Copies of this chain bind each other. A is one copy, B any other.
Amino acid sequence: MTIINEFGSSNHKSIVKNWFNSLRDKICRVMEEIEKEVSGPNISSERVPGKFEQKSWLREKKESGGGGVMSILRGRVFEKAGVNVSTVQGEFSEEFKTHIHGAEKDPRFWASGISVVVHPLSPFVPAVHMNTRMIVTTQGWFGGGSDLTPVFNNHWETKSFHGAFKKMCDEYDGSYYGKFKKWCEEYFYLPHRDEQRGAGGIFFDNLNTGNWANDFKFVQDVGLTFLDIYPLIVMKSMNLAWDQDQKDEQLRKRGRYVEFNLLYDRGTLFGLKTGGNTEAILMSMPPEVIWP
């Protein structure tokens, strides 16, 4: 691969956007396959394998454009799974531009990304989140990460998830995994509960080492690592039987997920407060939740 250093080139923007779309297709295909394979005692014969439905949206703001495609599956393994891709451009408002790298003097931006949130039906299958993005202002960088949210102490699942990301990170930089794991822990934390949202993973932002091609390859590998490890985690426990108490425990845990996303998640708050697509942003909400 040719080494290219420019985030702003239209060629790179197009490559990145196409990658997010193709990753989306891969993820959706694998999840639909898993939907066909489940056979646990809690899966009634009436429940047919879920399929993704797509819905596009356009950004309607003046002097800005772009849009995205939401893919949503309501299934028998994945009670609700959303995969969003979007590519938007425009200008940050006065309020926001001072908070964004490289937007202080020139508020124009371009952003493309993929975001995956999965809420499984079984309380034994951990929920998961994966997101990667490229942002271009007068500067350019990648961001993203992936984190696992089990309901119970799924040791094997947590260890496997972290192990996969550590192995991948170590191929790029020995400091990445430790740094990005810590960042994840700090980010997915609910101060009012003094609880982590889940079992962690990796989180990174402002990634620009000066080697665009290598940074982009890392970002691609975040998506591919997610695509390697999460299906294994799902298939390990998706056929186990669960009872109502265990399901209730999952519904309670999902309440914490909602609290985190609406109270603290920067992407959610930033999106909702800057006129983003509400339906796409709130696709992350779990399908059913209790606060008993």
Contacts and interface: CB of A to CB of B under 8 A. Distances in A.
Nearest to A292: B287
A263 interface: yes
A74 B287 CA distance: 23
B258 A192 contact: no
B255 A285 contact: yes
A50 to B, nearest CB: 13
Interface in A104-163: none
B272 A262 contact: no
A290 interface: yes
Q: 5 nearest interchain CB pairs?
A: A285-B291, A262-B262, A192-B272, A192-B278, A289-B289
A43 interface: no
A287 B287 contact: no
Interface in A254-292: 255, 258-259, 262-263, 269, 272-273, 278, 281-282, 285-292
Contact of A290 (B193, B269, B273, B287): B287
Given A287-B290, A289-B290, 5 more contacts: A192-B272, A192-B278, A259-B282, A282-B291, A289-B289
A73 B74 CA distance: 33
Contact of A262 (B251, B258, B278, B292): B258
B291 A287 contact: yes
Contacts of A258: 258, 262, 289
A8 B27 CA distance: 62
15 contacts: A74-B292, A80-B292, A191-B272, A192-B273, A192-B278, A251-B288, A255-B285, A258-B262, A259-B282, A285-B291, A286-B291, A287-B291, A287-B292, A288-B289, A289-B289
A123 to B, nearest CB: 16
A193 B278 contact: yes
A286 B255 CA distance: 10
